[in-house]
Amino acid sequence: MTTAATNNSGGPAASAIPTGGAGPADTPLLAVRDLTVRYRSEAGPVTAVTGLSFDVAAGETLGIVGESGSGKSAASMAIMGLLPAGTEVTGSIRLRGEELLTLSDTQMRDVRGRRIAIVFQDALSALNPMMTVGAQLAEAVAVHHRDRGRVELHERAAELLDLVGIPDPRARLDQYPHEYSGGMRQRALIAMSIANDPEILIADEPTTALDVTVQAQVLEVIERVQDRTDTAVVLITHDLGVVAGLADRVLVLYSGTKLEDGPVDDLFHAPAHPYTEGLLAALPRVDRKTARLVPIPGQPPSPRDRPVGCPFGPRCVHVLPGVCDVPDLPMTRVSPGHDSACARVLELMGAAR
């Protein structure tokens, strides 16, 4: 992975918050600035994330929402330092003020799992089928605590399974992943991620392929873990319903670009971007007067052929030539802590009133 802690103009990475400002006392736990991720391909570079900036405060839950291919997972892999060799990453990722993009692989291994951890979406693939769940939990702890003995590691593994709500945790330690149900595997993966009490937990589509009841249980586990450990959570999902009851703030990604960012209540009750409005219109709701959902027309643009200006422009009913196709559209503050990348947002919100 090729990294550079620079902004898009090639100068030193910015450390100031783009909107609102912040003093030393307001320094966020995680500060991402102008993050751009480019993959190599036979057809040339493919930009997965463009100029992404956001903050995560201690104990906060940030929901990152977007369709498949919007750049959600690419951004999380960049934070974890897990992108494939040859990937170009520019911008800045700071954890308590420490720049992560300039750390060596050895230094990142000390950060990964201990200070920032991730829960992958496919628990069956993420867990080793040849090792018992207890052995994998013990290994996750031992990597960062080599002074702990076998008995202590075994006790810590049982404690972790109990924390995520797996019944009879001591007996379950000696079982293999295939002996767990899908929901239990996901809980075990969460237990492994929090084994070293990380400051930030990234949950990448943690409810994928689980039924509705098990989804609710997994989200409850994440919420319970956060309450007990004060861990900040970055919840990555394509489902707005998942973040509705869990997130404090929501960031909406589309085609690798941030289109909206704001408190969860503001975003659901007063969306400030047509794309967010479209996502909400396509979300099943019991209070909707009509049972018919409204799909968003068209398809997301190809990463190799993004439109100039707003990437949602070709699918937007409010697009205005000469206004929405201007390069580098700025984020507009529509209310405290609520920003939108729509060039017509103030006009459209005024008309809605």
264-308 pLDDT, tens digit per residue, is 999 999 999 999 999 988 877 666 666 677 888 889 988 888 889
State the pairing for strand pair 249-254/2-4.
Answer: unpaired
Q: What is the reported pLDDT for 235?
A: 95
Q: What is the C-alpha to C-alpha distance for residues 203 and 206, in angstroms, rounded to an integer?
A: 6
* CB of 40 closer than 8 Å to CB of 86: yes
Mean of pLDDT over the chain: 87
User: 49: which 2 tokens?
Assistant: 């994330």
Q: What is the C-alpha to C-alpha distance for residues 226 and 223, in angstroms, rounded to an integer?
A: 5
Q: What is the reported pLDDT for 18?
A: 38
Q: Does residue 105 have a pLDDT over 80?
A: yes
Give burial (CB, 10 Å; 0-12/13-18/19+) of 135. middle
Q: Quick check: helix, strand or coil at residue 144?
A: coil
Determine how many CB atoms are found less than 10 A away from the CB of residue 254: 26
Q: What is the reported pLDDT for 5?
A: 54
Considering only 86-95, 128-137, 224-233, 271-280, which range has the smallest mean pLDDT?
A: 224-233
Taking residues 204-225, report their average pLDDT. Answer: 84
- Contact partners, residue 105, CB within 8 Å, separation at least 6: 81
Locate the domains of the chain by residue range: 113-247, 257-352
Spell out the alpha helix ranges (H) of 81-149: 105-111, 123-126, 133-142
Q: Does residue 327 have a pLDDT over 50?
A: yes
Confidence tier at 188 by pLDDT (50, 70, 90): very high
Q: What is the C-alpha to C-alpha distance for residues 218 and 172, in angstroms, rounded to an integer?
A: 18
* Helix and strand totals (H; E) in the chain: 12, 13
| DSSP code of residue 306 | P
Q: What is the reported pLDDT for 290?
A: 62
315, 318, 322: which is closest to 346 by C-alpha?
318
Q: Does residue 75 have a pLDDT over 80?
A: yes
Spell out the alpha helix ranges (H) of 194-337: 212-229, 240-244, 264-269, 274-281
Q: What is the reported pLDDT for 3?
A: 63
Q: Does residue 1 have a pLDDT over 70?
A: no
Q: Does residue 20 have a pLDDT over 70?
A: no
Task: Give the class (CATH, top level) of 113-247.
Answer: alpha beta
The pLDDT tens digits of the residues spanning 218-257 come to: 888 888 888 888 899 999 998 888 888 889 999 999 999 9
Q: 165-174: long-range contacts (C-beta < 8 A, 24 or more apart)?
A: 165/217, 165/220, 165/221, 165/224, 166/191, 172/133, 172/134, 173/132, 173/133, 173/134, 173/137, 174/132, 174/134
